[in-house]
Amino acid sequence: MSPLLLLVLGLVFLLLLMIRTRTRTRRAGEPPLIDSWIPFLGKALEYRADSRKFLEENYRKHGDAFTVHLAGRYITFVMNPLLYPYVIKQDSQLDFHEFSDQISSFAFGYTPLSHCDIPGLEDEIQRGFQLLKGENLDSTLEAVSANLMQVLRQDHLGAGSWRTSNLYEFCDSIMFETIALTMFGKPPGASYRGDIQALREDFHKFDDMFPLLVARVPVRLLGKTKAIRDKFHKYFLPQRMKAWSNGMRFTQTRMELFDGCDSMKDTDKAAHHFAMMWASVANTIPAIFWNLYGVMSDPSAMAAIREEMRDVLGLSEDQVNRPDTDLTLTREQLDKLVCMESTISESLRLSTSSVTLRLATEDTKIQLDERRWFNVRKGDMVAMFPQTLHMDPEVYGDPETYKFDRFVKDGKKKTDFYKGGQKLKYFLLPFGYGSSRCPGQYMATYLMKLLLCVLLLHFDFLVDPGQSTPPLDTSRAGLGTLPPSSDISFRYRLRTRPPH
């Protein structure tokens, strides 16, 4: 066949494909439809290039809600935060767990829960998340403190001269090990430290491919990702985990739950633990980086937090001056650190880029407010994109600027934020909402507070001069807290005097 004929046939095929796939037109009661001539992909390329810009332009053009064709899916974005409570109220009409099960099982390599004939397994998994809340966390906080101090002592609590490091690497090396030890416990054997470093490297190689796995690119097409995932499946095998000491009750309860499921394969059990490791680490480390960076580069933030710690924690001189003793802070003490919590909220506001998605399993009517509603078809999705809310100048004056005390008012947590003169019910959503709300949000916040307390009590910090704030790495847009696109160099040294 001549190359010209081949080209003509190819073009005819493409045209037919375009005609076949461009069959969707907007129906009465549906939001404005944003589609393109590109078969299957629709607006995916524009969306991927800069999702915030794309969505905000369409918000200005089409109003509060519109439907976008993205890689074979039709997603209706509700953009106006004043409408969030209406959408959130209808959460039970839409599905989260079925499609998140599809995505997670594909990414982490376990049999989808919907294919397991184990009655009630999914409900039990959800019930187990209660162990990440309230007084269940008391013993976890003790473990976090002990593990954090152990990790710091190994590598950082040496002599008092200045040391240079990169901040993301510093946060990652400390917190990956602290979280792994706290969640899963310590494996026996002298090789533990080397193992955890190798695990951390593998974790990041896997995590780099995570956006592609979420886009359902088969793992076998992603170089060594399959081999790395298999390594994690071996690492978390039940017979190995049983020998680990001092893991969280949350993890032990999950192990017991899986143990009781005779028909569940061991590699599936391991893959669930791997998924939990990812959930507990992947957002927490960039969040910690931005929190530390914000505090370190703003002397007034640093001074205000130190003052708050002094006033609230009531630590003795001995506790402050002796890094050889473990610093144990209770939930009640940490809850009182309102200014510190504001620095955490502020850094999450600036770095969060999650999309909360729900699937319509039936044709569904979504009420927008008292007067307005729209229809979504079975198989379509409804989404909210909190980054637009977090960066809205009407809600947060001067939104690009870091203001450490933005979430403090009269010494208490500030919760009144307004748009169009109306108080917003939802003004900060880094942890999602409703059925997909992050069950680890309390643990994440305590982890960040504990790290800040320990670091500020024991170290002085200096961000090396001449560096500007690194932009967010938008290649992970939509997946949670975005890491910086480059690292920051800084210096630290052990404090030789108590904070005063």
Interface positions with ligand HEM (CB under 6 A): 100, 132, 279-280, 283-284, 287, 354, 356, 430-432, 436, 438-440, 443-444, 480-481
Q: Least Å distance between CB 466 and ligand HEM?
A: 29
Nearer residue to ligand HEM within complex by CB, 261 or 279? 279
* 485 contact partners, CB below 8 Å, separation of at least 6: 470, 471, 472, 473
C-beta of 80 vs 280, nearer to ligand HEM: 280
CB-nearer residue toward ligand HEM: 304 or 443: 443
| Rg of the Cα atoms in the chain | 24
Looking at the Cβ atoms of 173 and 283, the one nearer to ligand HEM is 283
Which of 487, 481, 495, 489 is closest to 287 using CA atoms?
481
Number of C-beta neighbours around residue 295 at 10 A: 25
Q: Which two tokens stand for residue 204?
A: 């990041």
Residue 485: other Cβ atoms inside 10 A: 11
Q: Between the CA of residue 444 and those of 27, 290, 299, 392, 441, what are the distances in Å?
A: 43, 14, 24, 25, 5
Closest CB 100 distance from ligand HEM, rounded Å: 5
Nearest in space to 461 (alpha carbons), one of 162, 226, 204: 162
Smallest gap from residue 416 Cβ to ligand HEM (A): 23
End-to-end CA distance of the chain: 84
Report d(CA 271, CA 233) in Å as an integer.
5
- Residue 262's identity, in one-letter code, is D
Nearer to ligand HEM, 78 or 315 (CB): 78
> Which helix or strand (DSSP H or E) is residue 36 part of?
none
The least CB distance from residue 125 to ligand HEM, in Å, is 8
φ, ψ of residue 199 in degrees (nearest 5): -65, -40
Q: Minimum Å distance from CB 271 to ligand HEM? A: 14
- Residue 360 CB, shortest distance to ligand HEM, in Å, is 16
Residue with Cβ nearer ligand HEM (104 or 173): 104
Q: Which is nearer to ligand HEM, 315 or 447 (CB)?
A: 447
In terms of Cβ atoms closer than 10 Å to its own Cβ (0-12, 13-18, 19+), residue 111 is middle
Of 297 and 481, which CB lies nearer to ligand HEM in the complex structure? 481
CB of 440 to ligand HEM, least distance (A): 2
With H, G, I as helix, E, B as strand and everything else as coil, classify residue 479. strand
Tell the smallest beta-carbon distance from residue 324 to ligand HEM (Å). Answer: 28
Residues 6 or more apart from 240 whose CB is under 8 A from it?
A: 187, 234
State the minimum distance, in angstroms, from the CB of residue 345 to ligand HEM.
Answer: 11
* Residue nearer to ligand HEM on the CB measure, 31 or 480: 480
Please identify the residue of the shown chain whose CB is closest to the bound ligand HEM: 440
Given a contact cutoff of 8 angstroms between Cβ atoms, the answer to whether 450 and 143 are in contact is: no
* Closest by Cα among 121, 393, 450, 88 to 268: 121
Residue 479 beta carbon to ligand HEM: minimum distance, rounded to whole angstroms? 9
Which sign does the torsion angle of CA 288, 290, 296, 298 carry? negative
What is the Cα–Cα distance from 90 to 380, expressed in whole angstroms? 15
Nearer to ligand HEM, 213 or 315 (CB): 213
Name the minimum Å distance from CB 12 to ligand HEM: 41
Q: Tokens 């309390």 map to which residue? A: 442
Report in angstroms how near the CB of residue 434 gets to ligand HEM at its nearest.
9
Residues in the chain: 500
Q: How far apart are CA 97 and CA 99, in angstroms?
A: 6
Give the nearer residue to ligand HEM in terms of CB position, either 216 or 423: 216
Cβ-Cβ contacts under 8 Å for 471 (sequence gap 6 or more): 484, 485
| Residue 36 vs 100, nearer CB to ligand HEM | 100
Residue 247 near residue 185 (C-beta atoms within 8 A): yes
